[in-house]
A = this chain, B = another copy of it.
């Protein structure tokens, strides 16, 4: 998605060889008009797969997932990383390591909203090592739902997450694929240039 790659080049900040800061449009401040177009692009790509629900994890995945769900005409569900008083029954859980926070969290989703009959599209903001996305896959698998695809806003293709997901055979579509962040510069995977 050219507009997204342009945004990464103009507003993203390379903090290290592994960390890209996208705080001005994705992770903290959110360019909602761009996210609406991101949602429409996922809906276009995964249209025809009979998706019944979009699944993501709090917090940064929520905006792209919400706009994808709107464009597809289905509800969105976000897995919690922090338990709440009102999330208290029929829970599915998956333990994942958080790369940017340096700890382990439990992704939690209520079985009521991820039913065996569902056809799930997983959407997340970043794919690095793939911990969170694989956690979401495990949640959907536990429920018996069918996973129809995975949509990622920004993939850091050098951190192994794509390989892990490709092994599952699930369709994976990333809107921007970063090949490297060396020397403070963003280099995209060449097929996208």
Q: A residues engaging B (CB < 8 A)?
A: 15, 19, 21-25, 27-33, 35-36, 53, 58-59, 62-63, 66-67, 69-70, 73, 75-78, 80-87, 100-102, 109-110, 112-113
Instruction: Name the residue of chain B whose CB is nearest to the CB of A69.
Output: B32
With a CB–CB cut-off of 8 A, which chain B residues contact A33? Answer: 70, 73
Q: A62-B59, A62-B63 are in contact. Are A75 and B110 (CB under 8 A)?
A: no
Contact of A84 among B76, B100, B110 (CB under 8 A): B100
Do the beta carbons of B27 and A86 come within 8 Å of each other? yes
Contact of A32 among B24, B30, B70, B109 (CB under 8 A): B70
Instruction: Name the residue of chain B whose CB is nearest to the CB of A77.
Output: B29
With a CB–CB cut-off of 8 A, which chain B residues contact A32? Answer: 66-67, 69-70, 75-76
Q: A32-B69, A59-B62 are in contact. Are A101 and B77 (CB under 8 A)?
A: no
In angstroms, Cα B60 to Cα A82, docked, is 12
Inter-chain pairs besides A59-B62, A82-B82, 18 sampled, C-beta below 8 Å: A15-B86, A19-B86, A23-B87, A23-B113, A24-B112, A24-B113, A28-B78, A28-B87, A29-B53, A30-B75, A30-B77, A36-B70, A58-B59, A59-B59, A62-B62, A85-B100, A85-B102, A86-B100
Q: A66-B35, A80-B59 are in contact. Are A29 and B86 (CB under 8 A)?
A: no
Shortest CB distance A135–B (Å)? 16
Q: A32-B66, A80-B28 are in contact. Are A101 and B85 (CB under 8 A)?
A: yes
